Amino acid sequence: MATEAIIADVERYASAEQRLGALLRRAFGHAGVLEIRMRAWAENNAEAARALADIDRRRQMFIERLLREAGIAPQLAAMRATLLYWTYLGAALSRCRLKGERLDRLLAELRRIGLGGPAAKARVAEDRRPRRTGRRNRLAATPRAASARSAQTPS
């Protein structure tokens, strides 16, 4: 079975983070022709549908285990495993194969989603940027408006 062979190959990496990276590269760096054919077959064959459901479950459980081993809380690991797996399925069924820098950027972002890395810090930094304000607020902040307000204040 291809899934078990891939899992065995990925297991040779030392850390859970490395294993997740290797799994993502393998999944997203290859064409999804077999995935498409298996799912098309499962549409009309109950035995194939059951086998595919087992494969889906096994894959998700493996991703979830990698995330838990990397220190992600169990409930969050389950949710992130689902997100990563659904992303894989969408990519496989799209028949689009990424290469080079685009693949590298996608994999880095997927690792951040799975492991909760620097993207969360970037989001905090983003929140500290000055907000755009409406015209009224910008006018109220001008020196002329400030002097007009102080002139209106009784002493």
CATH of the domain at 64: 1.10.357
Token pair belonging to 100? 């080079």
Name the pTM for this structure: 0.71
The stretch 64-83 carries a mean pLDDT of 96
Supply the pLDDT for residue 151.
55
What is the overall mean pLDDT for the chain?
82
Q: Domain for residue 96, yes or no?
A: yes
In three-state secondary structure terms, 146 is: helix
Q: Domain for residue 155, yes or no?
A: no
Residue whose C-alpha is closest to residue 106's, from 120, 123, 125, 91: 91
Q: Domain for residue 13, yes or no?
A: yes
In three-state secondary structure terms, 41 is: helix
Q: Domain for residue 33, yes or no?
A: yes
Q: Domain for residue 144, yes or no?
A: no
Q: How many domains does the chain have?
A: 1
The stretch 28-46 carries a mean pLDDT of 91
Residue of higher predicted confidence among 49 and 32: 49
Residue 120 has pLDDT above 50, yes or no: no
Q: Domain for residue 152, yes or no?
A: no
Supply the pLDDT for residue 129.
44
Residue 45 domain boundaries:
2-118
Residue of higher predicted confidence among 133 and 22: 22
